[in-house]
Structures are given as C-alpha cells and as structure tokens.
Amino acid sequence: MKKNPFSLLGKVVLVTGASSGIGEQTAISCSKMGATMIIAGRSQENLDATLSRMEGQGHRAITGDLTVAEDLRRLADAVGEVDGVVHCAGVRGLSPIRMVSEKFMREVFAINYDAPILLTQRLLFRNLIRARGAIVFLSSTAAHLGVHGVGIYSATKAALRATTRCLALEQAKRGIRVNCLSPDLVETRLLRVDPQVAGPNEWLEEQRKRHPLGLGEPEDVANAIVYLLSDASRWMTGQTIVMDGGVTF
Amino acid sequence: MSFNPFSLAGMSVLVTGASSGIGRQTAISCADMGARVIITGRDAVRLEETRGRLEGDGHVAVAADLTDAEGLARVVDVAGVVDGVAHCAGISMIAPFRMVSEKAIDAVFKTNFHAPVLLTQRLLAKRQIANGGSIVFISSTTAHIGTIATSMYAASKGALFPAARALGLELATKQKIRVNCISPGYVNTPLLDGINNGAASIEQNYDLAPLGLGEPEDVANAVVFLMAGASKWITRSTLIIDGGLTVPISIS
C-alpha cells in the first residue's frame, strides 16, 4: 500500500474532553493513526486512563477546566505548536425552555461554545496552529432539527456551526481548515448513566429503533475526525458532516 | 501502520467515469487503499491507461456507454457482487436557460441522473451490492448554488440528492447499505477544461474558493472515506468538498 492519505504521522493534535466518550476515543484513534497527542480534560485520573489506551510515544495530558479563564490560559501556554485541534469537551444540558434558568443557560454556553472558541482564539492569536492545520468542532444533529428539551444545547451547537463557517473564511489564507461534525446519538458510557436513560432504558431502546444503522459508536465519530485532521481532507473547509445512522425523525 | 479504518482491503468497488478526472483518480485511490476495482468508461484506450495505474491485482476494465442499455447490462454482468459503487461518470452542459434544447436536457439527464440511477437499480435488483456496502454519487456544488448557464447541469446533479436520501432509507434497515453524495467544487479535470472552452470568464471562479482549485485526489479521498468502514454510521449525507467555495454563499 502506498502512503496512506489518512495517516496522522508527524502531526501534533490537541483534543479537549479527552477524559471520556468521543474525546477519549478521538485521542486513542488519532494516536493509532500516528499523531502525537496533547489531551485535555478535568480529571487527571481519567486522562491517565485515556493515555494508557493510546499508542505511540510523546503524548501529554493537561488537566484544567476550560470554563475557568486561568485554566484556559494555562492550557494554551502549555500546548505549543499543533497541527490539529479537536474540541470534544461539552455537556448535553437537558431542560425544557420554560424551566431554563439564566445560570443553566450561561453554564451550557460557557462549556459548549465560549470555551472552544476562546481556546481557538488564544491558539490562533499566538500562531500556535500551524499552516495547513485543521480545527474540528463537535456540533450535533440537534443543531439541524428540533428535539424536545434541548433548546439551549442545540443553540450552542448551532452557534459552533455558524462560527465554523466564518472562521473557515478567516483562516483560509494560512491554509488552516475549520470543519464541524454533527453526530446524532452516540452510545458513550456517559449516555448510559444519563438521568434520562436511567431506569428501564426504554428511551435508549426507542432511540436504537429510530436509527436504521443503530446508534453511533465513539469510533465512528473519531474516524470522521481523523479524516478531517488528515491531508485526505485538505480541500474541505467550512463544512459540517452529518452522521446519524440514517435517522429520519 | 496496522490500524487503518480507511483501508479498503478485501473490498470490490465499481467506479464509473474512470477514464478521466475524478473517476480515474477514484479508481487509483481505491486500489491504493487495497480495493479490487471494476472500472468503466466510454473511452477504451484511456480506460486501459487507468487500469495500468492501479495498484494490486484482479482489477477489471469494461469500456461501455452507460446511457446505452446494452452497455449498462454489460457493466452489470462483468461487475459481479461489489461492496461499493462510485458514480463518477458525468458530463457538463453550459447554456443559458432560454437557449436550452429538449435534446440537450435529455442528454445531460441521461448521463448525470438516469445512468447512475439505473445502474444502481440493476445492481440492487440482481443483489450485486453486498450487505454493508456503500454507494456514492458525485454531484456538484453547482447543484447547491445554481450559477448562470448551469441550470440543466445543476438540475441533473441536484436530482441525485433526494434520490440518494430515499434510497439510503430503503437500504438501511435490512441490507445496511449506505448511500451518500459528494458535491465537489471546481476540480482540476478535463470536464473543467470543457467548461472553460464554453465560457472563458469561468476561470475567475477558481479564485472564489478560499483554498483555490481542487485536485482529483481531494474528491477521491472523500470517496475512499465513504467506502471504508470508517464511515459506517454515515448515510443519506452530502459532503461538500469545494475549498470553501460555498462557505460565504447561502445554499440549501
């Protein structure tokens, strides 16, 4: 086989939210594709667990809460130059709009929108994302369609999509690509302990039935991220890839 | 590297339009990633040229015109059971709406819509697309934008989206066959040269894409992604790969 255009060999990639779920799998898959990883998350213990499942040498873990300005600054200072940034940190935030408090709304926005944008800003401002690098934001199909109870969450995810397009234009000159992924329901460990899922798991069963190809696996999202980080997608920017197992409603 | 969810090893992929441009590179890239490819195109000489550039063994070339019933039947016969189909054959048509002839509409729809749809239909009817397989239609950003003098070309490419969405649903539950589209922007291919001859000013359009003109590899790698297990949860989607061309445009 000739040189694999999907290889991440020689690339340094920062991934947030690497303690669990999609972020954790992204760290693992990218390392298996040859990248040197910097993984960020709030829990050292969880990051260590992720590190133990990664392949290759030279990976680093940095702990911190990205909604805390000081932590964000510390992360940006410690990162160094990277070829890719993947923003996986996020919360689902379930609440019907009539029950939403301002505090809740600000928290969900702080984690899902403010943190990834401010981190990206800081890295770009200090020229830490190399030319022909790639930035990937995690949106959601909830940003494309109406779902009960996630009015604020879907707004944060739609905001990421919108900013993706603007940032793609701003960074094209340096060949830095900015893309977004909109997965539907992915079966992470977190999902199984979600309060909505606790109990008889009727909701989860119903969700599985809705998706002709089943629910997503963290690997599915991680593989799409590998594609968006690799040179295979060097001409793709400003886009959102929808991945939903064929769900129609 | 042993871990490679983008490998096509063990897969057979049928590629149409493989005598030039995106189709040719798709055949080359799929073979590079380990697939056995069945290539088809109208020009036997250039098709053979493509075959000579394929890595690995067992590749088959069938010169045929897919707008012709006999040609279509022959491709289906030779293809056997495949894991993937990449519909890359297509023609361009530049004409202002008021100048479009019925004959020209027929011609562009026959190649860009009827042929890929009928080929897919025939393969499915004979159970020649394996369960878990992948079908990829090459559309065009023109179908999203609707630029001057491309009305019928855009319509023929745009018709593929809803067809792919419906087919994707029909094939998802039992066969787990995925159906997706790719909408490339301006790619450095002979088809683009053809457009150039029609209207010299179109060259300015290349500069519209923030990342410039694309290469066939950029589209071929997206096809590889959609063929591979890496995209097993993606169906009924369209990947726009255009160097950012449509990013500042309001598209549907």
Give Cα B6 to chain centroid, integer Å: 19
For residue B247, the SS3 value is: coil
Q: Where are the beta strands (DSSP E) in A151-246?
A: 177-183, 240-243
Assess whether pLDDT exceeds 80 at residue B130: yes
Residues of B in contact with A232 (CB under 8 A): 6, 221-222, 224-225
Distance CA A223, CA A21 (A): 14
Region B144-172: mean pLDDT is 96
In tens digits, what is the pLDDT along chain A, a chain of 249 residues? 568 999 999 999 999 999 999 999 999 999 999 999 999 999 999 999 999 999 999 999 999 999 999 999 999 999 999 999 999 999 988 999 999 999 999 999 999 999 999 999 999 999 999 999 999 999 999 999 999 999 999 999 999 999 999 999 999 999 999 999 999 999 987 776 665 555 557 888 888 899 999 999 999 999 999 999 999 999 999 999 999 999 977
Q: Which of A236, A240, A241, A247 to probe by mutation at the B interface, max B CB count within 10 Å? A: A236
Read off the DSSP letter of residue B202. G
- What long-range pairs does B229-232 form, CB within 8 A, spacing at least 24? B229/A223, B229/B5, B229/B7, B230/A6, B230/A220, B230/A223, B230/A224, B230/A226, B230/A227, B230/B5, B230/B6, B231/A220, B231/A223, B231/A224, B231/A243, B231/B134, B231/B178, B231/B180, B232/A213, B232/A220, B232/B132, B232/B178
pLDDT attached to residue A235: 98
Taking an 8 Å cut-off on Cβ atoms, the answer to whether A172 and B244 are in contact is: yes
Identify the closest residue of chain B to A161 by CA–CA distance: B247
Q: Which of residues 228-247 of A touch B (CB under 8 A)?
A: 232-239, 241-246
Residues of B in contact with A26 (CB under 8 A): none
Q: Which of residues 123-182 of A touch B (CB under 8 A)?
A: 165, 168-169, 172-173, 175, 177
Distance CA A39, CA A30 (A): 11
The crossing angle, in degrees rounded to 10, of helices A115-125 and A151-171 is 20
Facing residues of B40 across strands? Answer: B62
CA distance B176 to chain A (A): 7
Taking an 8 Å cut-off on Cβ atoms, the answer to whether B1 and A4 are in contact is: yes
Query: Token pair of B123, please?
Result: 């393969």
pLDDT attached to residue A196: 59
CA angle A161, B234, A149 (to 5 degrees): 50
Instruction: Give the residue from B141, B124, B157 showing the smallest Cα distance to B240.
Output: B141
Taking an 8 Å cut-off on Cβ atoms, the answer to whether A239 and B239 are in contact is: yes
Identify the closest residue of chain B to A173 by CA–CA distance: B210
Taking an 8 Å cut-off on Cβ atoms, the answer to whether A235 and B178 are in contact is: no
pTM of the complete model beyond 0.90: yes
For residue A233, which phi and psi values (nearest 5 degrees)? -110, 25
Q: Is B153 a catalytic residue?
A: yes
Kindly list the catalytic residues of A.
153
pLDDT digits (tens, 9 = 90+) for B99-113: 999 999 999 999 999
The 10 Å CB-count burial string (b at 16+, else e) for A78-96 is: ebeebbbbbbbbbeebbbe
pLDDT attached to residue B208: 78
Identify the closest residue of chain A to B132 by CA–CA distance: A213
Catalytic residue (choose from B113, B153, B161, B186): B153
Identify the closest residue of chain B to A175 by CA–CA distance: B211
Within B179-230, residue ranges assigned H as helices are: 190-198, 216-227
Residues of B in contact with A220 (CB under 8 A): 230-234
CA distance B67 to chain A (A): 30
Distance CA B190, CA B196 (A): 10
pLDDT digits (tens, 9 = 90+) for B33-84: 999 999 999 999 999 999 999 999 999 999 999 999 999 999 999 999 999 9
pLDDT attached to residue A79: 96
Facing residues of A84 across strands? Answer: A13, A134
Nearest-by-Cβ selection for A220 from B218, B233, B242: B233
Identify the closest residue of chain A to B56 by CA–CA distance: A1
Query: A164 and A121 in contact (C-beta within 8 Å)?
Result: no
Nearest-by-Cβ selection for B225 from A34, A232, A244: A232
Half-sphere exposure of B4 (CA within 13 A, CB side): 17
pLDDT attached to residue B218: 98
